[in-house]
Amino acid sequence: MEVILVPGLWLTASSWDPVLPALREAGHTPVPLTLPGVGGTAAETADITMDDWVAAVAAEVDRHEGPVGLVGHSGGGNVVWGAAAARPDRVARVVFVDTAPLTRSIPARAPTSPVTLDDDRRFGVPVTLLMGSLDEAALRAELARWGPYAEELAAIDDATVVRLGTGHWPQFSAPAALARALVEAFAEDAPREDAPA
């Protein structure tokens, strides 16, 4: 399966480099992205919004045949969830990965503009949340204070929370553990050779 990897704020596609070999070894085709405007000047990126980032990921989904997996780290989680809402019939699973470090400039409007979530079919897309330090109870307790975030998670039909036991940036601090968790998350979604066509 093609697995589109969206980095967190300030990061580029190269932040996924440590987990790519394990995804390939498991039979997936990883597609790491750098979002439009990351690394650009304020003048060059002044008009880029969250919708532009979501559109870039949705366009990448459209370039591939069959269902794809989406992985979003930190702020990239909003982006992949917006893409799942834009293409719910094309996404096999969404995986959310914990937070982001400061490494690149980003378009000023992108992290503060809203995510367009018009299609409720997104709630039917299976979701895995790979959390650095929170287990499911702690995550749900934290989100309960965030109003709409808790409501969005509660509306998802199939959501699994996995505590990685890592820091906020597992692709840097524990890439092998993150890679194993990603492979496991997509294992049940991958087409099998013995499956009927």
Distance between CA atoms of residues 6 and 34, nearest Å: 7
* Strand partners for 2: 29
pTM passes above 0.85: yes
Contact 46, 108 (CB under 8 A): yes
- As to burial, measured by CB atoms within 10 angstroms (0-12 exposed, 13-18 middle, 19+ buried), residue 180 is middle
User: For residue range 61-74, what is the model confidence (pLDDT) as tens digits?
Assistant: 999 998 999 999 99
Domain residues for the domain of 72 are 2-187
Residue 62 inside a domain? The answer is yes
Residue 180 inside a domain? The answer is yes
Confidence of residue 197 (pLDDT cuts 50, 70, 90): very low
pLDDT score, position 114: 81
Residue 19 inside a domain? The answer is yes
Instruction: Report the pLDDT averaged over residues 162-190.
Output: 90
Q: In b/e form, how buried is each residue of 90-124, taking b as 16+ CB within 10 angstroms?
A: bbbbbbbbbbbeebbebbebbeebebebeeeebbe
Residue 194 inside a domain? The answer is no
* Strand partners for 129: 96, 161
User: For residue range 46-57, what is the model confidence (pLDDT) as tens digits?
Assistant: 999 999 999 999
Residue 51 inside a domain? The answer is yes
Total number of domains constituting the chain: 1
Instruction: Report the pLDDT averaged over residues 20-28.
Output: 96
Place of tokens 């204070």: 145
Maximum C-alpha span of the chain? 53
User: For residue range 117-129, what is the model confidence (pLDDT) as tens digits?
Assistant: 989 999 999 999 9
The CATH number assigned to the domain holding 6 equals 3.40.50.1820
For 2-11, 101-110, 132-141, which range has the lowest pLDDT when averaged over its residues? 101-110
Describe the strand order of the beta sheet including 29-32 as a list of residue ranges: 29-32, 2-6, 68-73, 91-97, 127-131, 159-163
